[in-house]
């Protein structure tokens, strides 16, 4: 009986030799033994003192000596005269695979091995395959033996057919093995995700429990404050009553002692002189002790009862939600007040979702009012949780709120945060929007240019209402250039003089005169130019919607432009012959 398949077989007179030999297994074992023999006969180090010598690691082509790793470091260092020697891998043994011997080649399908002969006819080789018996046979088996009437096919054809079937089956197994490897990678990633998520949930759980403890501690402090106030109130009432009663008692006792002394006198006329007044005083003193005057106004008991049973029950029932809820609208976002801030006339808001939120979030909607208590309007829609809004009014109070949304709808609004923009506008030159030829220095408060052509640079502030004034100092003025000072919109053309397009309003000056310019139209020529050390002032009055210029404190004609409305930024154009610095700025509303 076969110990593997547990099938029983009858033995003939040949005994165990009557079973078919597994020639494929024999061939595999033979190749394995040859490989081991080749490895044992591999090239050895020629300088080793050990017995047996270590396998060679390199061959020096100049010295023609085999070295192991230790002997190479000791006897053939890569320096000095040996530095230019070429070290190559040791040659393969002739009996090893690929070494040039007969073990790697051979003739026929057997690779040089003797062709197998028929088990029943020792002199015949297998040439056919019996499909019925599923075994190879020889010609003599077909003519004389039991296979004469069986379905037989050519041995080579069946060999190729079965090889193809095995290869096809192996492809399926290979695909499954590949899927199994990918699945193992997925499982390992899942292990890592479980570990990370477990740590995250532990941190969230600790944070939630700490928040509960903090809330309970704060509530405890509030309740203790109430008890303290109640105790102090009762003590004050009792002490006031003690002091009042002591005063009355002292007065009554004094009056009684006086009356007793008067009664002891034997002078009727003297007694009758004061008796009426004494009687009235005694009656008044008696009336002061009205009903309830000798009763405490407060009790020693505290009418405060803390109902903690529902909270204890909730704590005992506190547990994880194991079930999967259907997707609903997101919860209320939490504004991160420590990250919300204002800078000049810009506000930055940050928010996050509460921990352990089960509902997905696809985006957020940030709303802002008009800074004057008006209606909210959407200013941002997206997935980010940090947003900066520029170009707001100075000296204004804005209300902001945010809500989240997903495929199920829009969630509730967050709490409203109040943000106050700066009272006074302050700004520098903006390197991010300036022309690439503009050169800024002194913390972006000084500007010049690399080009002989006029280039534009804007300020970092934007104005939409109020009165704004700023001054610029001419640090350098060579070869009578025409710098231009004024205001512009954010999309002004920056590779030509300020005021040549419809996005800027400017005054350009030389060393003798100044002109106003907008849409390349020159107006109001005025005497008085600039030189090194001159000061140019710009007054933007968005309440009256006009623009006025000053040179060294002197107004250059009437207001340069009227009916100016919108959002504007301080602007300047200059070339390499001019350098200008910001001096000061101020704003009123």
What is the third-level CATH fold of 21-91?
A: 30s Ribosomal Protein S14; Chain N (4.10.830)
Helices and strands (H and E) in the chain: how many: 6, 28
Mean pLDDT, to the nearest integer, of 300-318? 86
Is the pLDDT at 138 greater than 50? The verdict is: yes
Other C-beta atoms closer than 10 Å to the C-beta of 245 total 13
Axis crossing angle, helix 155-263 with helix 268-288, rounded to the nearest 10? 170
Other CB atoms within 10 Å distance of the CB of residue 550: 17
Confidence check: pLDDT of 104 > 50: no
Average pLDDT over residues 451-479: 91
Q: Please tell me the predicted confidence (pLDDT) of residue 109.
A: 40
Most confident segment among 28-42, 46-60, 501-515: 501-515
| pTM assigned to the model | 0.41
**Mean confidence (pLDDT) of the chain:** 85
**What are the distances in angstroms from CA 451 to CA 438, 455, 469, 508?**
8, 8, 29, 18
User: What b/e readout covers 569-587, taking b as 16+ CB neighbours within 10 angstroms?
Assistant: bbbbbbbbbbbbbbeebeb
pLDDT of res. 103: 41
How much is the pLDDT for 100? 43
Taking only the tens place, the pLDDT of each residue in 153-211 is 888 888 888 888 888 888 888 888 888 898 898 888 888 888 988 888 888 889 989 99
What is the pLDDT, as a whole number, of residue 434?
93
Q: Euclidean distance between the first and final Cα of the chain, in Å? A: 107
pLDDT of residue 113: 55
- 334-420: CATH homologous superfamily? Immunoglobulins (2.60.40.10)
Q: Which pLDDT band, with edges at 50, 70 and 90, does 346 fall under? A: confident
pLDDT tens digits along 407-452: 889 999 999 999 998 877 788 999 999 999 999 999 999 999 999 9
Instruction: Determine the Cα–Cα distance for residues 18 and 120; give it in Å rounded to an integer.
Output: 9
List the structure tokens of 579. Answer: 């350098």
The per-residue pLDDT for 488 is: 95
- The arithmetic mean of pLDDT across residues 522-528, rounded, is 87
404 close to 432: Cβ distance less than 8 angstroms: no
Show the 3-state SS of 235-303. HHHHHHHHHHHHHHHHHHHHHHHHHHHHHCCCCHHHHHHHHHHHHHHHHHHHHHCCCCCCCCCCCCCCC
552: left (phi over 0), alpha (psi -120 to 50) or beta: left
Q: Stretch 299-320: mean pLDDT, rounded? A: 85
Q: Which of 321-335, 492-506, 570-584 has the lowest mean pLDDT?
A: 321-335
Asked if residues 441 and 558 have their Cβ atoms less than 8 Å apart, the reply is: no
In the chain, the largest separation of any two C-alpha atoms, in whole Å, equals: 178
Return the domain boundaries, the chain: 21-91, 117-145, 151-316, 334-420, 438-588
pLDDT digits (tens, 9 = 90+) for 245-277: 898 889 889 988 988 888 888 888 888 888 888
> Tokens 């190749």 label which residue?
31
Whether the Cβ atoms of residue 560 and residue 505 lie closer than 8 Å to each other? yes
pLDDT band at 535 (very low <50, low <70, confident <90, very high): very high
Measured CA to CA in angstroms, residue 89 lies from 56, 57, 73, 181, 542 at distances of 9, 7, 16, 35, 86
Q: Return the percentage of the chain with pLDDT > 90, whole number.
A: 34
Could you tell me how many residues make up the chain?
A: 589
% of the chain with per-residue pLDDT over 70: 91
Lookup: tokens for 205: 């759980």
Q: What HEC string does 107-171 produce?
A: CCCCCCCCCCECCCCCCCECCEEECCCCEEECHHHHHHCCCCCCCEEEHHHHHHHHHHHHHHHHH
Q: Which of 525, 583, 578 is nearest to 552 (CA)?
A: 583
Is 374 a residue whose pLDDT tops 70? yes
Which class in CATH covers the domain with range 438-588?
A: mainly beta
């Amino acid at each position: 009986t076969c110990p593997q398949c547990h099938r029983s077989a009858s033995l003939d007179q040949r005994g165990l030799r009557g079973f078919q030999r597994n020639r494929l297994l024999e061939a595999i074992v033979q190749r394995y033994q040859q490989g081991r023999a080749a490895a044992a006969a591999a090239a050895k180090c020629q300088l080793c003192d050990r017995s047996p010598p270590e396998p060679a690691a390199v061959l020096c082509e100049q010295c023609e000596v085999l070295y192991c790793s230790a002997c190479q470091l000791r006897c053939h260092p890569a320096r000095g005269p040996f530095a230019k020697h070429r070290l190559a891998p040791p040659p393969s043994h002739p009996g090893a695979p690929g070494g040039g011997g007969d073990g790697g080649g051979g003739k026929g399908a057997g690779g040089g091995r003797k062709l197998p002969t028929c088990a029943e006819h020792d002199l015949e080789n297998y040439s056919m395959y019996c499909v019925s018996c599923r075994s190879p046979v020889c010609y003599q088996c077909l003519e004389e033996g039991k296979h004469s009437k069986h379905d037989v096919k050519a041995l080579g054809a069946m060999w190729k057919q079965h090889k193809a079937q095995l290869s096809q089956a192996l492809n399926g197994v290979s695909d499954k093995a590949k899927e199994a490897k990918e699945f193992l990678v997925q499982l390992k990633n899942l292990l890592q995700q479980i570990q990370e998520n477990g740590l995250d949930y532990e941190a969230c759980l600790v944070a939630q429990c700490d928040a509960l403890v903090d809330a309970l501690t704060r509530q405890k402090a509030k309740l203790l404050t109430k008890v303290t106030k109640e105790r102090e109130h009762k003590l004050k009432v009792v002490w006031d009553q003690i002091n009042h009663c002591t005063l009355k008692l002292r007065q009554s006792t004094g009056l009684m002692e006086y009356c007793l002394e008067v009664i002891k006198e034997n002078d009727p006329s003297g007694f009758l002189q004061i008796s009426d007044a004494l009687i009235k005083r005694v009656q008044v003193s008696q009336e002061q002790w009205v009903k309830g005057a000798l009763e405490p106004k407060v009790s020693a008991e505290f009418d405060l009862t803390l109902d903690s049973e529902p909270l204890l029950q909730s704590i005992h029932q506190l547990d994880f939600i194991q079930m999967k809820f259907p997707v609903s609208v997101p919860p209320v976002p939490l504004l991160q007040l420590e990250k919300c801030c204002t800078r000049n006339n810009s506000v930055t808001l940050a928010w996050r979702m509460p921990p352990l939120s089960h509902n997905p979030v696809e985006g957020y909607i940030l709303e802002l009012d008009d800074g004057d208590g008006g209606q909210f309007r959407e200013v941002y829609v997206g997935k980010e949780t940090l947003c900066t809004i520029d170009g707001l009014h100075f000296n204004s109070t804005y209300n902001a709120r945010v809500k989240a949304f997903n495929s199920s709808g829009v969630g509730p609004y967050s709490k409203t945060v109040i943000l106050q923009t700066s009272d006074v506008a302050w700004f520098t030159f903006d390197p991010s929007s300036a022309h690439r030829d503009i050169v800024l220095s002194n913390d972006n408060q000084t500007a010049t240019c690399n080009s002989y052509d006029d280039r534009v640079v804007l300020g970092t502030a934007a104005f939409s209402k109020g009165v704004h004034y700023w001054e610029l100092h001419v640090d350098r003025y060579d070869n009578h250039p025409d710098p231009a000072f004024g205001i512009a919109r954010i999309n002004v053309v920056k590779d030509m003089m300020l005021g040549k397009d419809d996005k800027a309003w400017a005054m350009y000056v030389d060393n003798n005169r100044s002109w106003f310019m907008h849409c390349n139209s020159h107006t109001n020529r005025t005497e008085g130019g600039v030189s090194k050390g001159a000061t140019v002032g710009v007054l933007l009055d968005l309440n009256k919607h006009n623009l006025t210029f000053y040179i060294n404190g002197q107004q250059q004609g009437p207001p340069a432009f009227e009916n100016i409305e919108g959002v504007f930024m301080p602007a300047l154009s200059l070339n390499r012959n001019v350098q200008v610095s910001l001096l000061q700025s101020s704003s009123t509303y």
